Amino acid sequence: MSDVNIETVRPSVWRKMRGNTGALIGGTLLAVIILIALLAPLIAPHDPIAQDLTRRLLPPFWHDRSVPEHLLGTDHLGRDYLSRMIYGARVSLGVGLGVILVSGTIGITLGLIAGYFGGWIDLVISFAITTRLSLPIVLVALAAVALGGASLTTLITVLGLLLWDRFAVVTRAAAQSLRHQEFIEGLRAIGASRTRILFLEILPNMRATILVVVSLEVANVILLEAALSFLGLGVRPPTPSWGLMISEGRDNILFDPWLIALPGSALCLLVLAVNLFGDGMRDITGPARK
Amino acid sequence: MLSFISKRLLVALLVCLTVSALSFGLMFVSGDPAIAIAGSGGRAEDAEAIRVAYGFDRPLVVQYLDWIGSALTGNLGQSIYFNVPVTEIIGNRAGVTLTLGFISFLVALVIAVPLGVAAALRPNGWIDRLALVIAVSGQAIPSFWLGLMAIVVFGVWYGWVPISGADTWQGYILPVIVLSYYAIPELMRITRSGMIDVLATDYVRAAKAKGLPMHLVISRHALRNAVLPLVSLSAVQLGQLLSGSIVIESVFALNGLGRLAWESLLRSDLPVVQAIILILSLLYVVLTTLADILNAVLDPRLRGGS
């Protein structure tokens, strides 16, 4: 199904993508993880938060003591690990997407305005970017989540309000270079409104650039969510987040290291997929890479 | 040159002021800090007493000016939990974070720069491919997880290194490896791309054409120009290592600033959190400003522009 979509949108991109192994592997892997997340209720063998204290810490299938109903074993509360892993993909991708929506909107708007108008507006927005960059992000996010009351909504809002800098930097530069292009000058001459020029002409022209930033930032957000949840100030139990699972498995690290090995590997795989896909897209759509 | 530096310093000062206002404002994110300190189940009288004792009943601007004023004289307030000056607690803990941050940064630099140069000399050669694998994996592996796995393998299974604490220098081995692995990819990428650009310039080709040995071409001509972007990135990375060590400190049970900030957050000791955020931000501003000035010294072309 995706063949048809992509062919009609940008034939050249799809053709080039076939030649780019990284983008292909990353894209496929990402698609699989997204599918798993979407179909979680259908494919998860158990309820991810249902506890069974009589079957605690069952090992995964490669151990002798494993049981077939729990392919990847159970955690310290007897919850099915495979189901938690599957639902964990939802949390990672959901937070990634939610944060990008907030941070992307803020960053792209600021960047567009700064790059297009220049002058003192640019000075103010650039100053905001510099200030944002100097804040220790993990610490500020931790503090804001702790004070704002840890919940998924707070987490997404806080990260969204903090991580707009890369979007702003990149869109600002792109808007600066597009501002003096002939077709924009032409539109200005025929009296097109600023809003139209900014959002209907300049913005669509930076699609490719923005897509690359989205991939970088999604990876960044997924890692941050995991780190915050690991520190106990991100996603709240019993929601299955991979970072939280690593933190919960930490007490049993001596005898059951698979408890942290599994969700960690899932995290690596997802971030790797996003990065490979993003890097590939940069090679395909962007100007010659350094 | 002087006008560039003074302009840069003015921006730095403004950023510092804004950052200080932000970390001050953090106290009020939750609404009423007095209730945050008293605990949500606390009595109203307790909250009121705290409000008066900490001066929360005064106008915000007055509180901010008071806070920043005493911060300038080296007084960052009292810790609510320990009831001793914040600067004292921070002074006890800063050493671990600074040691960890600087050593990790040096290790990362010592590995990333030669690897980046070697990768640039023969693009698509085996070193370049190795560098790519290191970069791609380094960016995908969460550092706290890498730390935990390293503890399992080298601390528990093999018993080569202590699994937590920094009482001996061996306690720093794993945290340094993990943190530098996190910093290597970007440093290496920028060295590599900088080198590739420089190697393609006319003056490098001229130097090669006149028969200068390759190591001299690199050390005398190419590297000097390739490191320009590296200087700015180094400042950013060092700043990130210092502030990002919070997760690593908690994994390895190192008593540094990051762990202190985390513990303080869990016990609502906000003055400590504020102070650490302020200090780390100021450190970042100082580092990036120094890098900009250093860049201007190294590259005269940068001095003219804003």
Greater confidence, A45 or A272? A272
* Distance between start and end Cα atoms, chain A: 34
* Residue B115 pLDDT exceeds 80: yes
The dotted CATH code for B95-299 is 1.10.3720.10
Partners of A229 on chain B (C-beta within 8 Å) are: none
Partners of A130 on chain B (C-beta within 8 Å) are: 11, 15
Domain-wise residue ranges, chain B = 2-72, 95-299
Q: Where are the alpha helices (DSSP H) in chain A?
A: 2-9, 11-19, 21-38, 40-43, 81-117, 119-134, 137-148, 152-162, 165-179, 182-189, 194-195, 203-205, 207-230, 242-249, 258-285
The beta-carbon neighbor of B144 closest among A142, A227, A268 is A227
How far is Cα B197 from Cα B296, in angstroms, rounded to an integer?
A: 20
pLDDT tens for B145-169 read 999 998 888 887 887 877 666 667 7
The C-alpha angle with vertex A52 and arms to A48 and A56, in degrees rounded to 5, equals 100
| pLDDT interval class at B197 (50, 70, 90) | confident
Are A179 and A115 in contact, with CB atoms under 8 Å apart?
A: yes
B26 vs A: CB within 8 A: yes
CA distance, residue B99 to nearest chain A CA (Å): 18
Size of interface A-B (CB pairs under 8 A): 129
Which among A274-288, B97-111, B122-136, B244-258 has the top mean pLDDT?
B97-111
| Among the ranges given (A138-142, B2-6, B115-119, B273-277), the one the predictor scored with the smallest mean pLDDT | B2-6
Sequence-distant (6+) residues with CB within 8 A of A148 are A154, A157, A158, B29, B30
Partners of B144 on chain A (C-beta within 8 Å) are: 226-227, 230, 246
Q: Is the ipTM of this complex over 0.90?
A: no
A288 vs B: CB within 8 A: no
pLDDT tens for A243-266 read 999 998 888 888 888 888 999 999
CA distance, residue A138 to nearest chain B CA (Å): 7
pTM: 0.87
* Residue B204 pLDDT exceeds 60: yes
Query: What is the C-alpha R_g of chain A?
Result: 22
Residues of chain B numbered 186-215 and touching chain A (CB < 8 Å): 193, 196-197
Sequence-distant (6+) residues with CB within 8 A of B99 are B172
> Best interface-test mutation with A: which of B191, B265, B274 has the largest number of A CBs within 10 A?
B265
* Residue B37 pLDDT exceeds 80: no
All domains in chain A, ordered by first residue: 20-40+82-284 (1.10.3720.10)
In this prediction, residues B119-148 reach a mean pLDDT of 88
A200 vs B: CB within 8 A: no
**In DSSP terms, which residues pair with A74 in a beta bridge?**
A80
On the question of a cis peptide bond just before residue A238, with omega within 30 degrees of 0, the verdict is: yes
Sequence-distant (6+) residues with CB within 8 A of B91 are none
Whether B288 and A260 lie within 8 Å, measured CB to CB:
no
The beta-carbon neighbor of B196 closest among A246, A253, A290 is A290
Partners of B36 on chain A (C-beta within 8 Å) are: 147
* Residue B28 pLDDT exceeds 80: no
CA distance, residue B73 to nearest chain A CA (Å): 22
B64 vs A: CB within 8 A: no
B68 vs A: CB within 8 A: no
Query: What is the C-alpha R_g of chain B?
Result: 24
Are A188 and A197 in contact, with CB atoms under 8 Å apart?
A: yes
A163 vs B: CB within 8 A: no
* Residue A11 pLDDT exceeds 60: no
